[in-house]
Amino acid sequence: MGWADYLADRSARRWFYGLAGRLDPGWSALAVDPGLWRAYDRHASAVADAVRCEDDLVARQEPVSDLVLIASHAHDVWTGADARGWTPPADVSRWTPEEWTGLRLLACLRLAAAEPRGPRLSPAAAELRRESVAARKRVR
């Protein structure tokens, strides 16, 4: 990994850290509403597909990490939503399957955390990860 790659990954990680705290109510919503997992899973699949397509279809002189591609996708989602006046719901009850932007950003954050040198998940998200397998099995 060269210095430019290191800086790009570091920048992506820092951006996710700035976003993560604002999304904590979403992790709490997933913890109390197992039905929300279906919508979240669709977003995670869509983000993974978008990153794969970006990597396959966009020619670059230098390759970038999946962490940077995920951060780029998340940044585009955030920027578009911010321009429309969107803010992450602070109330857990407002996190519904229709909360497209919030669920997409949660999916981006989770996928980024799974990458080498990715951001660490917040304590709420990390705890949810341990509990999620059982909850998701009950829903499916």
Measuring CA to CA, which residue among 80, 55, 87, 59 is closest to residue 70?
A: 55
Domain that holds residue 63: 3-139
Whether pLDDT at 58 is above 70: no
How many separate domains does the chain show? 1
pLDDT per residue as tens digits for the range 100-140: 999 999 999 999 999 888 898 877 776 665 555 444 444 34
Q: What is the pLDDT of residue 126?
A: 67
Q: What is the pLDDT of residue 10?
A: 83
Whether pLDDT at 87 is above 60: yes
87-90: long-range contacts, CB 8 A cutoff, minimum separation 24: 87/22, 88/22, 88/23, 88/25, 88/26, 89/25, 89/26, 90/25
Q: Which one-letter amino acid corresponds to residue 27?
A: W
pLDDT per residue as tens digits for the range 9-37: 888 889 898 888 899 999 999 988 888 99
